[in-house]
A and B are shown apart, each in its own frame.
Chain A
Amino acid sequence: MRILFFTPFAGRNGAEMMLWYTIKHINKDKFSCALFSGQKGPLIDELPKSVPFFLPHVPLKQTLGQRVIIKAKNRIFGKNKVDDPYKKSVIDAHNKFKPDVWYINTVLCPEAVSLALELGVPYVVHFHDMLFVYQHITYNNLKNAVEGAKLLVGCSEVVCDKLRIMGGTNIALHYECIDTSKIALDKKNTEKLKKKLNINSSFIWVMSGSVEYRKGTDLIPLIARSLGKSVSILWLGLGSSGYSYYIEKELKYYGIENVFMLGSKSDDYYDYLALADGLVLTSREDPFPLVMIEAAALGLPIVSFNSGELKNSLKMVWVS
């Protein structure tokens, strides 16, 4: 089977990490794979050499000037007669690789869904998200993703439930995964990182995820104040919006010094996780957070809201 995968960023988020792990372990005798990524993110360099990849001929995030020119051309010549750079890039990739099916990884590739429908290419959509993401894509893009796909894949039971509610018919459950071989700890490095941060707390909590409302980063200042100074909290993940600015200011306003906003730290990621004594998941919605599996693999206890109905999704041994 020849599969052309579509992914939005090639970034280190759960949905795209899962895709990379799958591609890495795929049986090459049974599957030929290629990848089309909306952006040249850091994971592109980690693709197996045998997997060809394609990028848009021009960056997907067009400048305002580029968008104005395309819009003006569309008005003058009609939409179908204008060279849409994304469409052209995808068609070139399709013609070169000749896939049997497109595998659209996340609903954050709506252009691929529209194009698959237009060209009559069979497609699979893998859903890693729920309502917080649905609100950021258009009505028709979600409709097309659900109603036109040959197969809908949900990353957890609760995601599959949402797909059923939306009228999806051919639904499969496929959990997110981690590469346990990558969790090789460097104890010396962990100690070094602890010293670098100058942490002498009796207990260290860690959370990993983008700094955003869905992940509940804004709850961290209140949690830190309630726990007191003997406990530290590390947040691994990037954020550059006004939301991050607000949180930075709130921490400063209350004089909170035991919260460390560390950014992405991809090289030392597992050593930072291992530095902690427990994982706290503050997400308001998270259908299947990879960090939970990573923390479990490190033997860390987890405290979490039931975001994404984690109890049902994981059927793990919770004690409450």
Chain B
Amino acid sequence: MGIVIDSFDTLDLVQAMHKVSNNEINFNKEISIARANEFDAEIQAQYWQDMMLSRDFA
């Protein structure tokens, strides 16, 4: 997927950007796409409906 910088230091972010643009990280496009598809609206809307129907708002 990429790199998360814990330090909040802009220069650390830049360094990570260099790593990505120089192909210095293992990045699997297929895993990324598959993971993103789990957040598709159709799937998430089902979770949302289950959440709402399991509650009593009366």
Contact = CB atoms under 8 A, between A and B. Distances in A.
Between A22, A25, A124, A301, the greatest number of chain B beta carbons within 10 A of the residue's beta carbon is seen for A301
Nearest to A290: B39
B35 A296 contact: yes
A174 B48 contact: yes
B51 A153 contact: yes
B45 to A, nearest CB: 4
A311 B4 contact: yes
A312 B20 CA distance: 22
A301 B1 contact: yes
A317 B30 CA distance: 11
Interface string B2-22: 111110101101101110110
A205 B55 CA distance: 43
Interface residues of A, number: 62
B57 to A, nearest CB: 4
Q: Is the interface of A mostly helix, strand, loop or mixed?
A: mixed
Given A205-B17, A223-B14, A175 B44 contact: yes
A1 B52 contact: yes
B44 A293 contact: no
Given A101-B57, A303-B20, A317 B42 contact: no
Interface string A164-206: 0000001010111111100000000000000000000011010
A251 B57 CA distance: 52
Contact of B57 (A150, A298, A316, A317): A150
Given A150-B57, A222-B10, A320 B45 contact: no
B40 A178 contact: yes
A63 B5 CA distance: 44
Interface string B27-49: 11111110111011111111111
Contacts of A175: 39, 44
Nearest to B22: A203
Contact of A177 (B4, B8, B45): B45
B4 A320 contact: yes
A30 B41 contact: no
B57 A100 contact: yes
A298 B19 CA distance: 20
A254 to B, nearest CB: 15
Contacts of B25: 301, 319
Contacts of B51: 153, 172, 174
A226 B10 CA distance: 10
Interface string A305-317: 1100011001011
A316 B3 CA distance: 11
A26 B41 CA distance: 10
B22 to A, nearest CB: 9
Interface of B: 1-6, 8, 10-11, 13-14, 16-18, 20-21, 25-33, 35-37, 39-49, 51-53, 55, 57-58
15 contacts: A25-B42, A26-B48, A27-B49, A150-B55, A151-B55, A176-B44, A177-B41, A178-B40, A219-B10, A222-B10, A296-B36, A305-B4, A316-B32, A317-B28, A319-B1
